[in-house]
Amino acid sequence: MSEFKENIATFARQFVPSYRFIRTHESTLGNSHELQTELKPHSIKVLTWNIAKNNFEKTWFKDFYRILRQHQPDLIFCQEVRMGVGVEQIIGFNKLSWAYAPNFIDTHHQTYSGILTAANISPLSKKAIVTKHYEPLVNTPKVSLITEYSLSHQHKTLLTINSHLINFVDLSKFKTQLQEIELALSTHHGPIIFAGDFNTWNRQRAILLDKAVTKLGLQSVEFAPHESKKIKRFLLSPPLDYIFYRGLTERSASAKVLDEINSSDHKPLLAEFSYVDM
């Protein structure tokens, strides 16, 4: 691993100007549309997708609108989303309420990169958690985005966290990010959805993730074997993308991986939940 990190650092010095990627002072950006006031607890459709910064490409727009039309997700968690600096809207999400947490600015393209959570309703609150450690090459942190939503006719709220976990660092830094997320979620006593790209490309990372979600009482959405094999991996590694949940009921046979979508090297993951207040 140390030799790999040294090679990354050498590449960074040779090919990436130190001034190109800069950290941003904005913690969250957003846009609100009051299309409805509460999530309907009998059916909460969830999409998570690392779009690999392709949301300025025509092929991505075609794929994204196809997903919206066919599957009508209520909650959308996207990682690696680009947004123009000084632009108040992200094309494709203009009819949704969205919250965006950037982790750096690409000065060459004048774009943010970050994670985005979108829904048919506005969040009650939103908060970004920025890692204290930085990835090599771009020397920027990773970010998670917490949003909270009302549930129809329920006293409790749904807490969601959209995460992209840190990469190309030693295991202790990966563990630190997970501990920060654990702390943020530990005070919420209602239902939770935790989704994103967890960069679990080896067994050690996957074990740490499993310990963290188990501690929080979360369980993973179960994909059928023929669906699971479509999820992004590195060679024979565990999956990189997950949807975890607590306090919800997973709709049987709802979990799908959209293998026909090719505008990113990650496939979109879909799941559906219901909620009954006990």
pLDDT band at 226, cuts 50/70/90?
Answer: very high
Strands 29-31 and 125-130 come out as unpaired
Tens of pLDDT, residues 67-83: 999 999 999 999 999 99
**DSSP conformation letters of 125-174:** EEEEEE-SS-BTTTTB--EEEEEEEEBTT-SSEEEEEEEE---SS-HHHH
Mean pLDDT of the chain: 89
Tens of pLDDT, residues 86-95: 777 888 998 8
- Dmax over CA atoms of the chain, in Å, equals 58
Is the distance from CB of 145 to CB of 128 less than 8 angstroms?
yes
Query: Can you give the pLDDT at residue 4?
Result: 46
The rounded distance, in Å, linking the Cα atoms of 43 and 274 is 5
Is the distance from CB of 166 to CB of 199 less than 8 angstroms?
yes
- This prediction has a pTM of 0.90
The rounded distance, in Å, linking the Cα atoms of 144 and 56 is 22
Tens of pLDDT, residues 233-259: 998 899 999 999 999 999 878 899 999
User: Cβ contacts of residue 130 below 8 Å, gap of 6+?
Assistant: 27, 103, 141, 142, 143
Residue 108's identity, in one-letter code, is H
Q: What's the CATH number for 2-274?
A: 3.60.10.10
Query: Can you give the pLDDT at residue 105?
Result: 77
Domain ranges of the chain: 2-274
How far, in Å, are 3, 18, 112, 164 from residue 50 at the CA level? 28, 25, 15, 9
